Structure 1
Amino acid sequence: MREKFVYAARQAGQAVTMPPFDVTLRAAASLDGPPRRPFVLLGEDGPVFTLHERLGIAMSGNGLRAARRFMPHMTLFYGAKPMSTGEIEPIRFTVRAFSLIHSKLWLTEYETIGCWRLGD
């Protein structure tokens, strides 16, 4: 990644403010994703979408392109075959910080660009 994009992403992350919030994961799903399929827990609507929207606005304001679509999820593992999907017993946790991560395409290599606390 070019340093100017990393700098702009860090500026965007610093610009986002909001209080901590709860996330609830209610379903498990096997997604399409060549060459491997991610098996994820899916989040529901709520304040996580507000965080996504505010971060997108801050990114656009710093010359970056923000994703229009957003699916809150937690990836558990990657597999070659689809897994059973459906409702799960809800898992809840409080989000007190967020990180911007550079995910290298088709690899399981990640670089943390920055991390910011919520509500401070």
Structure 2
Amino acid sequence: MNKPHVLQHDLFGDGNAPSASVHRLFLALLPDECVRAALARTAAALRARQGPPAGWIDPLRYHATVHFLGDHPSPRPDLVAAVERAGDVLRGEAFDWTLDRVRSFHGRRPPRVLCGSVLPEPLQALWGRWREALLRTVPGLRLESRFVPHVTLAYGRELLPETEVEPVRWRVSGVALVQSVVGRHDYRTLAGWPLHD
């Protein structure tokens, strides 16, 4: 079994990816087109203020990671099936998440992320339910013990102070299991679980 990863990674920010194919699996919240456009407007406003040095994320790649499920040298149908089993017994309601702060995380290329000043209780509960179900269903899986939900907009060269931005209101209506191959532009949604109003 591959060595597990415990850090929450972003999908496209790792510049140290090995040359061999790396298959990345994670659970994510994926924005609809309206939210994606609002996120892109926020990124454009930041770019105008902060200048060109940062590497800006393609809006098609915007997402909020719920649980990172590891980097693997080949596809993992066994892990996908186990995650699907875990998700099929979970239920939840849709909820609103307001993202109104931009901040940086530490790193070689500090991510510039959009997050909320308030963590909605349903979002924290969703993370917790998935964590419990995955740990029961997938032996040996290691997951983050804390949750800092965010959407990465760019990678920079320095840490920036936290600032307020025009709020982006996101009606979260589902969770997706996503696979990417590191270094490639696209990613695949392998399964999804709706949250009902």
TM range (shorter): 0.7 to 0.9
User: Which residue number in structure 2 is paired with residue 99 of structure 1?
Assistant: 176
Residue 112 (str. 1) matches residue 189 (str. 2): yes
CA distance in 2 between partners of 1:104 and 1:56 (Å): 24
User: Which residue number in structure 2 is paired with residue 40 of structure 1?
Assistant: 113
How do residues 20-99 of structure 1 correspond to structure 2 at under 5 angstroms? Answer: 20-34=94-108, 36-43=109-116, 44-46=118-120, 47-63=122-138, 64-99=141-176
Q: CA deviation at 1:37?
A: 2.0
**% identical aligned pairs:** 36
Q: CA deviation at 1:88?
A: 2.2
CA distance in 2 between partners of 1:103 and 1:71 (Å): 21
* Consecutive aligned runs of 4 or more in structure 1 exceeding 4 Å deviation: 102-105, 107-111
AA aligned to 1:17 is R
AA aligned to 2:113 is V
Offset from partner CA, 1:40-96 (integer Å, 9 cap, x none): 111322111111011111111202433211111111122233334322232211011
What's the RMSD between the two structures over aligned residues?
2.4
Q: Do 1:59 and 1:65's aligned partners in 2 also have CA atoms closer than 8 Å?
A: no
CA distance in 1 between partners of 2:181 and 2:126 (Å): 23
Number of residue-to-residue matches in the alignment: 118
Q: Secondary structure at the match of 1:60?
A: helix
Residue 16 (str. 1) matches residue 85 (str. 2): no
> TM-score, length-normalised on structure 2?
0.52
Q: CA deviation at 1:103?
A: 5.8
Offset from partner CA, 1:83-112 (integer Å, 9 cap, x none): 34322232211011111234667x576443
Between structure 1 and structure 2, the one with the greater Rg is: 2
CA distance in 1 between partners of 2:188 and 2:106 (Å): 23
CA distance in 2 between partners of 1:104 and 1:41 (Å): 24
Offset from partner CA, 1:7-65 (integer Å, 9 cap, x none): 1122222222111100011210111223x221111132211111101111111120243
AA aligned to 1:8 is A
Q: Secondary structure at the match of 2:144?
A: coil
